[in-house]
Amino acid sequence: MEATLDSLLLGFSVAFRPDVLLYAFLGCLVGTLVGMLPGIGPLAGISILLPVTYGLDATKAIVMLAGIYYGSQYGGSTTSILMRIPGEAASVMTCIDGYAMAQKGRAGAALCIAAVGSFIAGTFGVVLLTVVAPPLAGFALRFGPPEYTALLVLGLIFLAYMSSTSLVRTLLMASFGLLLGMIGIDVLTGHFRYSFDIPELGDGIGIVPVAVGLFGLGEILSTPSSTVTAKVVSPRLIELLPTREEWRQSAMPIARGSLLGFLIGIVPGSAHIISSFLSYALEKRVSKTPEEFGNGAVAGVAGPESANNAASTGAFVPMLALGLPTGPVTAVLMAALLIHGVPPGPSLVSEHPDVFWGFIASMYVGNLMLLALNLPLVGLFVSVLRIPYAYLYPLIIMFCIIGVYEVNHSVVDVWIMLIMGVVGYGLRKFGFDPAPLVLGLVIAPIFEMSLRQSLIMSNGSWTIFFNINERPIAASLLGVCAVLLVLAVLSLIRSRKDWRNKLAEAEGSEAVNQ
Amino acid sequence: MILRRDHIAGLAFVAAGGLIYALSGDLPWGSLGMPGAGMMPKLVLGMMIVFGLILMMRGGTSPPLVETDWSDVGHALCVIIAAALATALYTTLGFVLTMSLMLFGLTAAIERKPPLRALAFSVGTALFTYFLFSSLLKSPMPPSPIGFF
């Protein structure tokens, strides 16, 4: 514990450097705007601004990009409460009771509760991250190729299990992403795969064009300007303070949301989105007045907002400690670290302590900055929302093109982004969540390499993954996979049974009617 | 039989998987002891085809295809054409000219904003962004053939 505190002090000495503070502030500011503006989420925002960090060192780059991520969780609540438009997917639940509170003249209180809840949850998440990540990284040093393969399989299955869409759809998306991740030169044999004589494809498809296309352009294509209205309620500064009763009602939901969010954040999937949905459901279930939900319940704002912020911090645990992304945002952040020559993973703590601890310390500071930004300056931010969407989305498209082009100065990347934009539009129309696709794309090289290395190590024997004596970690992880799959199949059978029962009942009633 | 959303989606993935499998013919499978470049892609393609088939078979519970709202497809098509034209011209005409044209096309032609306001917005934004990235962020943008911008 003493070593952790010493390391944290080192982190604060980095985080309090004026240049690092400046980039943390810029990240939080941009993140708040990204979270507020409809049609651009944290993933697109981070991807677009990734090239801007090329001139920075790894610490400043990751501090700024992470600031955009957790800043967007704060900003997303503003549009939800004031306009009933979720600026960010994780803020969907805040729309329900946040906007209802605004309609009752409590917009300021809702914004304050959301900001304070986000601050408490974000700080709680960083404290747990400080405690959990270093020992986990130490443990992960025991991992070899079979353990990584098993961990990635578990990640994919967990993602499918936790996903908001069906298991099959999620696995289908993940397979599609894995396939995209295999385009380019095979590093073990030198074969070109699916590059169709396009030299730029030899290095594979980058995360940035795919992520920006699917989440940035795809979102714009599915949002016609006629559907976005700019009716904004602007609260005065004096109205921001909640009443004593509102504080009391929000205390426990903030505490529950913080813990729930952090735990969900660690597991793969769109954690910040799932956590806000689960927190809302939990608050409604434990509430003594569930009928208030939907009509301006304070817990309906405090719980989900705290949960999505804690989840965005929790998602950094596997990224920093294991070098594994749990979602597309952490995947892009991982790519940012790799671009700066800092491989995330178990060795990050020991080899780049200034980056690791500087990043963690900057999150404490960043959460304070966000609280200061999101409360007194809410009126200023609200004025940004008055920019008509007809002018806003062309700007976003321009930044998408700049962001993607600047990564490699390659027009092929921009074409890939456009294609992925169309794919993203199509996927939305057919009810697919594109997040597992990006995750598949990111883990494809690690997954393929570790699987092939494991098979080479064992001379082609699959038992290397299941031998509990030689590889207890891999075998245990695969055991968990098996349990999750059995649970998923059982729930499938149960739903089929329900369906059969319903059909039998329907047929029975038809027979009676005849 | 009512054609449903998952029938079409599943069929698309099965067809895409089959097509890519056919294109993967020259990639060696290798052996378990020494996996070749084609082993993983073919395994993943197999998974994609299987999941696509399951989606098709379970498609009966998904909404009918005719219920999908396609009212935004015209707008999406216009936006993607404008972005594609800008991409094609990006390195030829340079950043400022291309982006001014794209922004003007989107705001004036597609969004029906007053042409003068759209022109001022487009040129002003493109110039500001050019200077922001080139001068302040030191991130070079494609220059135009006339040398300036």
8 A C-beta contact, residue A225 and residue A389: yes
User: What is the average per-residue pLDDT within B15-25?
Assistant: 90
Shortest Cα–Cα distance, A457 to chain B (Å): 8
- The two tokens of residue A42 are 């944290």
Q: What is the DSSP string of A265-318?
A: HHSSSSHHHHHHHHHHHHHHHH-S-GGGTTTT-THHHHHHHHHHHHHHHHTHHH
User: What is the average per-residue pLDDT within B9-22?
Assistant: 94
SS3 content of chain A, % helix, strand, coil (to 5): 80, 0, 20
Residues of chain A under the 70 pLDDT cut? 1, 38-40, 85-89, 162-165, 225-238, 268-272, 492, 495-514
B35 forms bridges with which residues in the sheet?
B30
- Which residues, in sequence order, are CB contacts of A167 under 8 Å at separation 6+? A160, A161, A488, A492
Say what the pLDDT of residue B107 is.
Answer: 94
Q: Which residue has the tokens 């450097």?
A: A17
Q: Give the closest of A175, A222, A398 to B47, CB-based.
A: A175
CA B108 from centroid of its chain's CA atoms: 23
Q: Give the closest of B51, B133, B141 to A172, CB-based.
A: B51
- The two tokens of residue B97 are 């000219």
Rounded Cα distance between A259 and A307, Å, is 7
Instruction: Let me know if A317 is exposed, middle or buried by CB neighbors in 10 A (0-12, 13-18, 19+).
Output: buried
Say what the pLDDT of residue A513 is.
Answer: 41
A432 forms bridges with which residues in the sheet?
none
Kind of pairing, strands A192-193 and A184-185? antiparallel
| Residue A345 DSSP SS3 | coil
Say what the pLDDT of residue B54 is.
Answer: 92
8 A C-beta contact, residue A300 and residue A97: yes
In whole numbers, what is the pLDDT of chain A averaged over residues? 82
The pLDDT tens digits for B67-125 are: 888 888 999 999 999 999 999 999 899 999 999 999 999 999 999 999 999 999 999 99
Contact B103 A191 (CB under 8 A): no
Say what the pLDDT of residue A56 is.
Answer: 83
Minimal-distance CA residue of chain B relative to A54: B139
Say what the pLDDT of residue A508 is.
Answer: 45
> What ranges in chain B are assigned the alpha helix state H?
5-23, 39-57, 73-93, 95-104, 115-131
Question: Could you tell me how many CB contacts below 8 A there are between chain A and chain B?
Answer: 158
pTM, two decimal places: 0.79
Most confident region among A283-292, B4-13, B125-134 by mean pLDDT: B4-13
Q: What is the DSSP string of A373-412?
A: HHTTTHHHHHHHTTS-HHHHHHHHHHHHHHHHHHHHT-HH
The pLDDT tens digits for A58-86 are: 888 888 988 888 888 778 788 778 777 66
Contact B75 A225 (CB under 8 A): yes
The ipTM (two decimal places) reads 0.94
Q: Give the closest of B5, B48, B129 to A172, CB-based.
A: B48
Rounded Cα distance between A72 and B46, Å, is 38
Contact B99 A391 (CB under 8 A): no
Shortest Cα–Cα distance, A96 to chain B (Å): 24
